[in-house]
Structure 1
Amino acid sequence: MSDEESGANGGAAGGPENDGQRFDRLPATAEDRVVAGRPTREEVVEWWEERYGLSPETWDGHTFWEKGKGKIWAFAGDLVSPNPVEAVGMRVIRARQEHWKPSTDAVQRFCGEATRNVVVLEPEEAERFVRGEDQELERWDGDWGYLVAAHEFEGAREPIGVGLYLHGELRSTVPKGRQEDLS
C-alpha cells in the first residue's frame, strides 16, 4: 500500500496529502480521490472536451499523473504509482488554480482537432505571437481565457501555442526559450 493510500503523509485533516517530489496517478473519478484537491482523470478529460472540443477518445491509452501542485502530465502507457522518476510523458495542464492552463506542448500535440476556443491568426499576427508579443485582437468574439492560437499552414490549421485572451487583447504565453522571430 502506498503512503497515499495509507494516509502515512498525513494531510491537515489527517488524510493523505500531495507529495510534490513524485508522480502520482490521477484517480479515475471523484469517488476514487484520496488526496484533497487532486484532479481526476474524468475531470481532466471533461475539461479538454468542454473547453476545446477534444473528443474523450483523444486520451485513450494515456494515463494522467500529478507532480508538484497541479502539474498534470499525460503518458501514453502505464507505470506503478507512486513513481519517483523526474519526468514521464508530457506536461499537459497546470491545474489546482481557478483557471486551468494547457501547456504549449499539449496544445501543439493534441489540439489540431480542437473545435472550440481556437483563434486562427493571420500571418503577421502569428509571427507576433511566436515572438512572444501581446496584441490587440478585437475580432475574436468567443470565450475569454486560455485559447488555442493556430495558423493556416499549407492548407491546414496548425496549433502554435496558448494565448490568454482578455479585454480585446491576445497575450502570448509562448515560453521565452521557444519564442522565434519568423520575419
Structure 2
Amino acid sequence: MTDDEAGGTQNDGQRFDRLPTTAAERTVEGRASRREVLEYFGDRFGISPETFDDYTFWEKGAGKIWIYAGEASSPVEIEAIGMTCLRTRQEHWKPTTDFVQRFGRHASECVIELEPEAARRFVAGEDQELEWDGDWGYLVVAHELAGDLEPIGVGLYVHGELRSMVPKGRQRVL
C-alpha cells in the first residue's frame, strides 16, 4: 500500500495484499473483504463459506482477487500466489474460469447444465439462446461427464442468451 493525499492508503498494483477479514478492517478504499467474498460465493452460488477455511484471499491490482491454499506474509511482492478467482472492482463481480473449474462442483445455485451439443458450443466460445429459469448474471456452466456434473466455465446469462466467458486462448472446438 502507498499513502494517498488524504493520509490513508491506496492499492499498490505491483504487490499482493491480503484481504481484510471485514469491511471495518479495510484500509484501502474499494478493496473487498474476506467476508464479502465469502458472502458473494454463498449468496450467488450456494458455496458454503467453510469450503474456503484453508484458503486466504489476496488482491493484486484493482479488484483482481486471488485465492491461495495456505498462509503468507502480507504484503508480498511476487508475480503470483495461488490462482485468480474473482474480479471485484466493476459493477458485477465476476468469477474466473479457473475458480469455477476448481470450486464450481461445490455450487448449488446458479448452475446451468448443458447438453452435449450446447456444451461443445460453449467451450468453443459461442453464445447461444437457451431457456433458463434462474437468475440472470454470471453462472457456473456444467456438463455431465462420466456420471458426474462437472463445471466447465463461467457463462453470462442475459435476455435468453448464454454468453460464453471461456477465454479465447482456452476455447476448443470439440
Confirm or deny a common fold (TM above 0.5): yes
Aligned counterpart for 1:157 among listed residues 149, 169, 172: 149
Please give the alpha-carbon distance, in whole angstroms, between the structure 2 residues aligned to 1:62 and 1:68: 20
Q: CA deviation at 1:70?
A: 0.2
CA deviations 1:84-106 (Å, max 9, x no partner) are 00000010000011100000000
Classify the secondary structure of the residue corresponding to 1:151. Answer: strand
Report the counterpart of residue 31 of structure 1 in structure 2.
Answer: 24
Map 1:134-173 onto structure 2 (within 5 A): 134-137=127-130, 139-173=131-165
Report the counterpart of residue 67 of structure 1 in structure 2.
Answer: 60
Report the counterpart of residue 82 of structure 1 in structure 2.
Answer: 75
Map 1:1-183 onto structure 2 (within 5 A): 4=1, 9-137=2-130, 139-182=131-174
Q: What is the root-mean-square deviation of aligned Cα atoms in Å?
A: 0.8
Please give the alpha-carbon distance, in whole angstroms, between the structure 2 residues aligned to 1:59 and 1:22: 22
Q: CA deviation at 1:154?
A: 1.4
Q: CA deviation at 1:18?
A: 0.3
Q: CA deviation at 1:45?
A: 0.7
| AA of the residue aligned to 2:152 | I
Please give the alpha-carbon distance, in whole angstroms, between the structure 1 residues aligned to 2:141 and 2:23: 32
Please give the alpha-carbon distance, in whole angstroms, between the structure 1 residues aligned to 2:119 and 2:17: 37
Classify the secondary structure of the residue corresponding to 2:10. Answer: coil
CA deviations 1:126-169 (Å, max 9, x no partner) are 000000000001x2011111001000111110000000101000
Q: CA deviation at 1:11?
A: 2.4
Classify the secondary structure of the residue corresponding to 2:29. Answer: coil
CA deviations 1:11-45 (Å, max 9, x no partner) are 25331000011000000011111111100000001
TM-score by length of 1: 0.93
- 5+ unaligned residues in a row in structure 1: which ranges? none
- Runs in 1 of length 4+ with deviation above 3 angstroms? none
- 5+ unaligned residues in a row in structure 2: which ranges? none
Classify the secondary structure of the residue corresponding to 2:122. Answer: helix
Please give the alpha-carbon distance, in whole angstroms, between the structure 2 residues aligned to 1:92 and 1:148: 13
Percent of aligned pairs with the same amino acid = 64
